[in-house]
Amino acid sequence: MVTLADVARHAGVSASTVSYVLSGKRSISRSTRERVERSIEELGYRPHAGARALASNRSGIIALMVPLRTDIYVPVMLQIAMAVTTTARAHGYDVLLLTGEEGPEAVRRIEGSAVADAMIVMDVELDDERLPLLRTARRPAVLIGLPADAGGLGCVDLDFAAAGALCVEHLAGLGHREIAFIGEAPGVYERHTGFAERTLAGLRSAAGTHDMRLLHRPCASGWTAVAATLGRILEERPGTTAFVVQNEAATDPLLALLRQQRLAVPEDVSVVAICPDQVAAQASVPLTAVAVPAQDMGRRAVEQVVAVLDGGETAGTVLLAPELTVRASSGPAPR
Amino acid sequence: MVTLADVARHAGVSASTVSYVLSGKRSISRSTRERVERSIEELGYRPHAGARALASNRSGIIALMVPLRTDIYVPVMLQIAMAVTTTARAHGYDVLLLTGEEGPEAVRRIEGSAVADAMIVMDVELDDERLPLLRTARRPAVLIGLPADAGGLGCVDLDFAAAGALCVEHLAGLGHREIAFIGEAPGVYERHTGFAERTLAGLRSAAGTHDMRLLHRPCASGWTAVAATLGRILEERPGTTAFVVQNEAATDPLLALLRQQRLAVPEDVSVVAICPDQVAAQASVPLTAVAVPAQDMGRRAVEQVVAVLDGGETAGTVLLAPELTVRASSGPAPR
DNA sequence: TTGAAAGCGCTAACAT
DNA sequence: ATGTTAGCGCTTTCAA
C-alpha cells in the first residue's frame, strides 16, 4: 500500500508538505506542489480514510437514515437517497446508509464511534424520539421533514400545508364544492408523520376558507385497499366531484377504478395528486399535481449539512414552496 | 470523548485487556471481563471507528453500489438495499451507499482509501467495466447479478433463465401457443444487463422446446409507452393469448389496458409476471408470477461477503431457484 | 515556504 | 490471564 510517506520520499519533501498539498491548508511553492502531485499520480496514492479520520477527527462521511418501511412512498425515498448521495459526493463526502429500524440507538452509535461527521434523517415523526439525541449530539444533523419542534435542528421539507391548500384552491377555482382526500396508509397517520398531518391541516384549513366539504380517508397500498376506500367514499359522499391523492401507490388504481365506474376524468370527477412529477406525468391520465421535489430535498439537506461542517453556519428550516402543475386530470366541476 | 485508555484506567486494567474484552480474541477472567464491561457501560464508551480502522486495517463497512437510474425496478432496488443494510448490521457492518454513476472510479476510490472492507455491486452488465478492477482488488466483492464471466467473483442472482422457462412452461401447460414478452426498457437491453438477457434466453429456449411462438418487446415505463407496446403486439400478433411481463412499471398499466380493450384476464388472455411477490399480489388482478426474491438476494450477498471477510472462504455463484406462484391472472388458453 | 515530531485511539505481537 | 509497547497513516502544531 502506498502511504503518504512513500509520496514524500518519492517527491523529496517532508510528509507534512504532502499533507498540505492535499489539503491546501497552507501555501506551497508552485514547483513543489507540482512535484508532489506528480508523485501522487505516479504512485497512485490514496489517503487512508481511517488514518485521516483519526488524525483529523473528520471521517468524510454523512450518515443517512432511511425508513425501513418499504410500503410507502418508495420512489420518493429512493430519489431522495440518490440525490443525497450524488450531492454529498460533489462535496467530497460519502454516504452511510442506516435503516430507521435501529431507531435512536443508531444515532448513539454513529455519534459515539465518530463514523460520520453529520446525519441526515428522513421520515421524521412530529414528536420523533431521535430528536433529543440529535440536538445534544456534537455533530450536526439535518431532518428531511418537519417535526413539531425543530428546536435548533436544520430541516428541509416541502411546505405540505401550502401544498394541501394549493390543491384545494385549484379545485375551488374550478367550482368544486365537495372533495375527498385519499391519504397515506393509516399507519403513517398513527405514527404522526409530519408531512401527512401538515398536508391534512392545509387541506382542511383551505377547505374551510372556501366553504368546501372535505372527507379524509387514509388508504393502504394495493388495488383492493384503493377499491375499498373509493367505494366507501362514493357511498358516503355521492356528491364528491374531486379527489386529492397523496399516496403514490393509489393514483393508478384510482384512475383505473374510476374508469371502471364510468366516471370520466376530468369531466365527471377531477383528480389532483401530491407526488413526484414523474409519477404524475406517467399516469394513465396525466395528473394535475403538486410536485414532491424529492431531488431538491435531498440536495438541499446535504447543502445544509455541508454548510455547517465547512462553514460553521447554523442551519435553519428550509420550506420549499409547492408548485402545482395543471395536467389532464382536473377540470370544471360538473353541472 | 471517552477513550479506551479511560476505560482501562477506570477498570484498573491495561488497554489491551479492554481491547480483548471487546474483540473476544483472547480469554479474559470472568471477574475482569465484568469489571471492564461495567466501566464501558458507566463511561458510555464507544470505540473510535477511525482509530480501529487504522490499527486493524478493517473499517467495518461494506460498500454497496446501486444504479443511479431510478427509472427501472425501483422497488426491487430499494428492497435489496434495505436487506443488505439490515443483514450487514446483523453481522456488525455498516453500509456505504455508492451510486453507479461514479462507475469504475468508485471502485478505485473505495479500494484505495480503504474506507470499506468489501463491495457489493448491483445492476451488473454482462461485460461490466468494473469487473477487472474488482477482480484485482485486495478486498472481496460480490455481485448481485451475473456477468458473462464471473471469473472468481462471488455472485448472487435469481436464475432468470430458469424463471423465463418456468413462465413458458406454465403457459404451455395451459395450452397457450402464442405468447408475447413485455420486457424492461430498451436501455436495459442496450446495456446488456445480465438478468434481462438471461430471462429472454430462457424464454426463447423454452418456447422452442414447447413449439410456441414468442414475441419480445422491450417497454419503457409510463402508461403511454405500455399502451403503445400493447397496441403493436396485438396488431402484429392478433393470436397472442398470453403475456409474460418483466417490468414492474408495466404490469398495472397492462392490466388496465387489457380491461379497456375488453380482454378479460385470464379468460381471454393470461398474464404471467416476473416481479416481487408483493407487487404481484397487489395488482388489480393478482398476478401469477415468478417472484424476484429481492430480500433474499440482498441477504445472501451480505452473507457471502461476510463469509469471505470472516472466514476467508472464497465465494462462488449462488443462483436462486425461481418459484412460480399461481394467482388469478393465468388460465387455459381460449378455444 | 518547508520540515520535524507529537499525537489521534486502537490493535496485536511480544512478554510475563 | 494480563500487561507493555510499537506501530497503523495521517494532521497539525511548533520551529526554522
Distance CA(B169)–CA(B252), nearest Å, equals: 23
How confident is the model at residue B71, as a pLDDT? 59
According to CATH, what is the number of the domain A160-292? Answer: 3.40.50.2300
Residue closest to sugar C1' of D7 by CA: B55
Given 3-state DSSP classes, what are the helix, strand and coil percentages for chain B, each rounded to the nearest 5?
A: 50, 15, 35
pLDDT in tens, A249-271: 899 999 999 999 999 999 999 99
Distance CA(A181)–CA(A163), nearest Å, equals: 13
Residue spans in chain A of domains classed CATH 1.10.260.40: 4-56
3-class DSSP assignment, residue A279? helix
pLDDT above 90 for A71: no
- A4-56 has CATH 1.10.260.40 classification: yes
How confident is the model at residue B285, as a pLDDT? 96
pLDDT above 90 for B154: yes
Computed over every residue of chain A, the mean pLDDT equals 95
Contacts of B266 (CB under 8 A, 6+ apart): B285, B328, B329, B330, B331
How confident is the model at residue A72, as a pLDDT? 62
How confident is the model at residue A251, as a pLDDT? 94
Q: Chain A interface, mutation test: which of B52, B70, B101, most A Cβ atoms within 10 Å?
A: B70
What average pLDDT does this structure show over A126-138?
A: 94
Contact A114 B48 (CB under 8 A): yes
End-to-end Cα spacing for chain B: 77
Beta-bridge mates of residue B158: B320
Place of cell 439490515: B86
What average pLDDT does this structure show over A53-70?
A: 92
Residue spans in chain A of domains classed CATH 3.40.50.2300: 61-158+294-320, 160-292
Give the start-end residues of each E strand in B145-196: 154-158, 178-182
Beta carbons of A20 and A28 less than 8 angstroms apart? yes
pLDDT in tens, A150-202: 988 999 999 999 999 999 999 999 999 999 999 999 999 999 999 999 999 99
Place of cell 377531477: A270
Instruction: Tell me the whole-structure pTM to 2 decimals.
Output: 0.95
Contact A48 B222 (CB under 8 A): no
Chain C nucleotides reached by a protein CB under 7 Å: 1-13
According to CATH, the superfamily of the domain at B61-158+294-320 is: Response regulator (3.40.50.2300)
User: Hey, how many other C-beta atoms are within 10 angstroms of the C-beta on A148?
Assistant: 14
Which residues of the protein have their beta carbon within 7 Å of strand D? A 1, 3-5, 15-16, 19-20, 22-23, 25, 45-48, 51-52, 54-56; B 12-17, 20, 26-29, 31-33, 51, 54-55
> Which residue type sits at B225?
A
Residue B152 CA, nucleotide D7 C1', distance (Å): 34
Contact B97 A64 (CB under 8 A): yes
Beta carbons of A329 and A272 less than 8 angstroms apart? yes
Beta carbons of A310 and A60 less than 8 angstroms apart? no
pLDDT above 80 for B315: no
Residue closest to sugar C1' of D2 by CA: B17
